[in-house]
């Protein structure tokens, strides 16, 4: 599993504006690849989120995220428009 640093960290001390657009937000059943990455059982429900991240209205990152529903049962689309890191704490 890849560890990422928050996109906003490099631009916090600048005048840049960070924003996100959620392109997809759905619940899927974990396939073999996702089960190995998340260490969950096959078929467990996971959130799949595809998010496009912008700096100063320019697209800079396309992000795919999978998270077990059991760990984040109240996750909402609004949560995913904002940063992931407060949710994970």
Q: Give pLDDT tens digits for 56-86.
A: 999 999 999 999 999 988 888 776 666 554 4
DSSP code per residue over 43-86: T-EEEEEEEEEEETTEEEEEEEEEEETTT-TT--HHHHHS-SHH
8 Å CB contact between 23 and 52: yes
C-alpha–C-alpha distance, residues 74 and 56, integer Å: 30
Q: What is the average pLDDT score of the chain?
A: 81
The pLDDT score that the predictor gives to residue 29 is 97
The pLDDT score that the predictor gives to residue 61 is 92
The pLDDT score that the predictor gives to residue 82 is 64
Torsion of Cα atoms, 4 then 18 then 67 then 50, to 10° = -110
Share of residues in the chain with pLDDT > 70 (%) = 71
């Amino acid at each position: 599993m890849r560890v990422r640093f928050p996109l906003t960290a490099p631009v916090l001390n600048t005048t840049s504006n960070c924003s996100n657009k959620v392109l997809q937000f759905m619940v899927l059943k974990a396939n073999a690849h996702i089960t190995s990455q998340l260490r969950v059982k096959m078929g467990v429900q996971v959130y799949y989120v595809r998010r496009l991240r912008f700096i100063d209205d320019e697209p800079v990152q396309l992000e795919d995220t999978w998270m077990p529903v059991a760990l984040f049962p109240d996750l909402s689309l609004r949560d995913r428009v904002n940063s992931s890191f407060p949710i994970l704490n």
